[in-house]
Amino acid sequence: MQLLDQMKSRECTRTGDVMTAIRLKISSRALASGDRLPSIRSFAATMGVSPSTVVEAYDRLAAEGLIRARRGSGFYVANTGLPPMALTEVGPRRDQAVDPFWVSRQSLDADPAVIKPGCGWLPAEWMPQTALRRALRTLSRDENAVLADYGSTRGSPILRRLLLGRFADEGIEASLEQVLLTSSGTQAIDLICRFLLRPGDAVLVDDPCYFNFQALLRAHQVKIVGVPYTPSGPDMKAFEAALIAERPRLYITNSALHNPTGATISPQTAHRLLSAAAAHDLTIVEDDIFADFEPEPSPRLTVLDGLNRVIRIGSFSKTLSASIRCGYIAARADWIEGLADLQVATNFGGPSPAATELIANVLGGGSYRKHMDELRQRLARARHETAARLESLGIQPWLMPRGGFYLWCRLPDGHDSALLARIAVEENIVLAPGNVFSVSQTAAQFLRFNVAQLGDPRILAVLQRAMASHPAN
Amino acid sequence: MQLLDQMKSRECTRTGDVMTAIRLKISSRALASGDRLPSIRSFAATMGVSPSTVVEAYDRLAAEGLIRARRGSGFYVANTGLPPMALTEVGPRRDQAVDPFWVSRQSLDADPAVIKPGCGWLPAEWMPQTALRRALRTLSRDENAVLADYGSTRGSPILRRLLLGRFADEGIEASLEQVLLTSSGTQAIDLICRFLLRPGDAVLVDDPCYFNFQALLRAHQVKIVGVPYTPSGPDMKAFEAALIAERPRLYITNSALHNPTGATISPQTAHRLLSAAAAHDLTIVEDDIFADFEPEPSPRLTVLDGLNRVIRIGSFSKTLSASIRCGYIAARADWIEGLADLQVATNFGGPSPAATELIANVLGGGSYRKHMDELRQRLARARHETAARLESLGIQPWLMPRGGFYLWCRLPDGHDSALLARIAVEENIVLAPGNVFSVSQTAAQFLRFNVAQLGDPRILAVLQRAMASHPAN
């Protein structure tokens, strides 16, 4: 393989030389905005390289936005009025409201220098990079149709079949007609809401719950009803009272490892919940996105119910890649038929066939299993280390989760997490304050920490300083 | 490079040998459903290959769904109850209603043996395969974050900057804050509808128009008002009358090359339309998806209006890849801010960063320009050849478009295109009957043909036979 590496690096160096030469021409004003670049043939002669090397270099510079191809007349220096290499943009405004969008906006659009102990994903280095890169190389040799065509309305049968296999392991019997692939896990819930809800309907969520459930339900103009979440699932007395008082159409919850608390529903609560749902004709969306982080499977509403009134959704963003986006819905076949039509109307079909090919390749392989084994061990260590470090500041985990990367923590009495979050963001640290998760706004004393994103010592230093500057009253 | 090819092919052969050996064990019942596969180490010894070759083979078989990895205990023969290699599924029901979903359902979910002269995309072989494959290999060497992270809420600044460069060529001044990347072109329109419309609002579309505009607007429960389309754009008398009678909130149209007719709006119609829109506070969505197929730019509503009341949307599905999905919205900065929030709520952000990286790589390169030059020439030939062949059956193009791949054609008097489509689909040919495009259901005598999908001689033979069996009355 040495020969190959040498050849590759020589090829890269030549392309790089051509790119550097052009960059210099532009930065030295030898070429100004709007100027035509030397023709490929003539510049290849000038540089003593092949025309294909110049083509490659121009292509890359164009992809960077520094130059631009114009139809039929060659390449020109870009003239959009922006400084040529300023490809990053102004980050999110820091004075935005601490609402259900707060964490998404601050963490998704943050400058790379910002530290994000409040975000909802693992560091890129913790993801199965080797398998992803191998899958991309495999995809680069795949059939034309996979690279260019729309794909079927329900998405890759290969990936759906892999999901059926995983469902079968859990004890869920389902057919291919009961699975629909979507653009993302969030879009899966969005489609279900469009399919089942009308403005003004009541929808139950856990209090606290994943903040984006609230953002999504607001977009559907429904009444959001929070039910207090306990260490063994929703508070069933409050749940049953809400069923009677609000007659909700839907309940949306996380199974396996609850977001943000990391709690797990107990078998008794799961059974009682499904009985109550049947008595009141309630449909349930079980978001299974954290399932692979469990050391062993916990009670599942979908398993007890058998895809009758429970709809299972999930995605691969937390364990495989958030960049290669794909979600899924498993439900009654007649609902899937309606949901597939709705996805054609609103997105002209499901996720990218190229994306589902990549996911099936990684997910179906033995290396994914090994990756998840290692990841669970790594996260278990990180949970315990983080808990110990937070406790040294008087910040206490509400419970110690069985798996996953969240710790839902209580601040010492008198501290307000929204205030801490506002102070921290000024120091380039994004926290997840409790009330962005709480319908009743009763979680002001809580913060959700991502134990995989807490490596930087500045985080605890800033927390300590912020708590000291606004002491408990 | 020969050495590399040899090494690669030897590696592939060994992996293939292991895969074949396992397949044989399964098909011969030496391994049955649920049986554990030989361990990697022992099977590597049996086959005389390295353990990594067996891992690769098991991974691929698992990706195919033939075997399954179980956490901590190796690989097992899949037991989902389905025949192991039957990965394709039952095609669409052929008796479904000829409605705005008809073409999507029949063409997206068709068996590969089905011929689709009615579909809305180019054959995979006509797409820029070499550039796509090269972009995938480049992506396989990209940074960890591009492969694993969510990306920013508005999508890749590199791709947005490339779009700004194209807009600048047209004469549209815009900033990065005015561009939002989306999961698809359809999803771009869907987001705009969610942002601007309320159930019961009136929305203008062309009659005929792209059938999925109707499917989408039905999902939004709005009143769809059709305006007759002429060879130079919408019939302005009817358009102005509809503005007064219906007070529509939105008008959705294709610019450049109208779908399904292939017509181009005239400068006079464009100006008159924008003046009427200003007088009645109408917002316009200009779907620019066919722009790159034009031989030279035609009048654009966005260019005349300058992203004031016109919203530009588009995607790369027709010219680059429909598999690597991505769309965009260019609009007023305050609208983009609201649309970005809505996309976070409903999809947790924009398109896949991996997808936008691939698109920027291909779109920014000189090879894309050359590809489009060749494609336009190829399509010009195909348009003329197809028109001549259809005319031999008495089927007449309504007009000869300047570009693109559609021909909107009138059948001889007395023939009904929905009836022809129903007959043809029984012979594995998907046509696009006129009334799926028509709000007023006045296009029963029309068919839309895709000139790039008309190579198979069976198409004209079946058309001729179907027309003969149901002669004009």
* Domain boundary residue, one of A366, A399, A415: A366
B residues 252-271 closer than 8 Å to A (CB): none
The reply to whether B341 and B227 lie within a common domain is yes
The reply to whether A153 and A190 lie within a common domain is yes
- Are A147 and B133 an interchain contact pair (Cβ–Cβ within 8 Å)? yes
Across chain A, mean pLDDT equals 90
The answer to whether residue B92 is domain-embedded is no
Q: Which amino acid is at B401?
A: P
Confidence band, pLDDT 50/70/90 cuts, at residue A83: very low
The reply to whether A122 and A133 lie within a common domain is no
The answer to whether residue A2 is domain-embedded is no
pLDDT for the residue numbered A1: 38
Nearest residue on chain A to B128, alpha-carbon basis: A148
Q: Are A350 and A151 in contact (CB under 8 A)?
A: yes
Q: Which domain holds residue A286?
A: 129-366
The reply to whether A295 and A195 lie within a common domain is yes
The answer to whether residue B457 is domain-embedded is yes
pLDDT for the residue numbered A12: 56
B385/B362 Cα distance (integer angstroms): 30
The reply to whether B407 and B278 lie within a common domain is no
The answer to whether residue B89 is domain-embedded is no
A residues 147-166 closer than 8 Å to B (CB): 147-154, 157-158, 161-162, 164-165
- Are B89 and A146 an interchain contact pair (Cβ–Cβ within 8 Å)? no
- Are A124 and B145 an interchain contact pair (Cβ–Cβ within 8 Å)? yes
3-state secondary structure of B110: coil
A55/A41 Cα distance (integer angstroms): 9
Q: Is the pLDDT of residue A7 over 60?
A: no
Q: Residue A281, Cβ neighbours under 10 Å: how many? A: 10
B448/A282 Cα distance (integer angstroms): 45
CATH assignment at residue B7: 1.10.10.10
Q: Which amino acid is at B248?
A: P
pLDDT for the residue numbered B415: 95
The reply to whether A110 and A209 lie within a common domain is no
Q: Is B111 on the interface with A (CB under 8 A)?
A: no
Interface test with B, best of A178, A193, A347 (most B CBs within 10 A): A347
B272/B282 Cα distance (integer angstroms): 13
B343 φ, ψ to 5°?
A: -70, -30
The answer to whether residue A275 is domain-embedded is yes
pLDDT for the residue numbered A28: 56
Name the packing angle between helices B2-27 and B51-64 (round to 10°). 60
The reply to whether A185 and A273 lie within a common domain is yes
Q: Which amino acid is at A166?
A: R
B193/B206 Cα distance (integer angstroms): 17
pLDDT for the residue numbered B80: 46
Handedness of CA A273, A274, A277, A278 (dihedral sign): negative
Confidence band, pLDDT 50/70/90 cuts, at residue A434: very high
A residues 297-316 closer than 8 Å to B (CB): none
- Are B140 and A140 an interchain contact pair (Cβ–Cβ within 8 Å)? yes
pLDDT for the residue numbered B83: 39
pLDDT for the residue numbered A262: 97
The reply to whether A140 and A60 lie within a common domain is no
Where is average pLDDT lowest: A81-85, A188-192, A206-210, B41-45?
A81-85
B329/B59 Cα distance (integer angstroms): 39
The reply to whether B294 and B418 lie within a common domain is no
The reply to whether B373 and B450 lie within a common domain is yes
pLDDT digits (tens, 9 = 90+) for B63-115: 877 888 887 778 888 864 443 333 345 567 777 788 888 888 888 988 888 99
pLDDT for the residue numbered B433: 97
Q: Which residues of A touch B256 (CB under 8 A)?
A: none
The reply to whether A178 and A294 lie within a common domain is yes
pLDDT digits (tens, 9 = 90+) for B11-64: 556 887 788 778 767 765 667 777 888 888 888 877 888 888 888 888 888 887
- Are A185 and B348 an interchain contact pair (Cβ–Cβ within 8 Å)? yes
ipTM: 0.83
The reply to whether B140 and B226 lie within a common domain is yes
pLDDT digits (tens, 9 = 90+) for A322-373: 999 999 999 999 999 999 999 999 999 888 999 999 999 999 877 898 999 9
Q: Is the pLDDT of residue A313 over 80?
A: yes
* Domain boundary residue, one of A320, A350, A366: A366
pLDDT for the residue numbered B279: 97
pLDDT for the residue numbered A29: 61
pLDDT for the residue numbered A472: 62
Where is average pLDDT lowest: A66-75, A187-196, A440-449, A458-467?
A66-75
Q: Is the pLDDT of residue A384 over 50?
A: yes
The answer to whether residue B56 is domain-embedded is yes
Average of per-residue pLDDT across B4-12: 49
The answer to whether residue A86 is domain-embedded is no
CATH assignment at residue A345: 3.40.640.10
Number of domains forming the structure of chain B = 3
Q: What is the DSSP string of A195-224?
A: HH--TT-EEEEEES--HHHHHHHHHTT-EE
Average of per-residue pLDDT across A14-42: 78
pLDDT for the residue numbered B28: 56
Q: What is the DSSP string of A96-152?
A: ---STTHHHHHHHT--TTSB-TT-SS--GGGS-HHHHHHHHHHHTTS-HHHHHS---
Q: Is the pLDDT of residue A103 over 70?
A: yes
* Domain boundary residue, one of B366, B382, B397: B366
The answer to whether residue B110 is domain-embedded is yes
- Are A108 and B153 an interchain contact pair (Cβ–Cβ within 8 Å)? yes
pLDDT digits (tens, 9 = 90+) for B148-190: 999 999 999 999 999 999 999 999 999 999 999 999 999 999 9
pLDDT for the residue numbered A90: 57
Confidence band, pLDDT 50/70/90 cuts, at residue B470: confident
Across chain B, mean pLDDT equals 90
Encoded tokens for A448? 């959700």
pLDDT for the residue numbered B11: 53
CATH assignment at residue A433: 3.90.1150.10
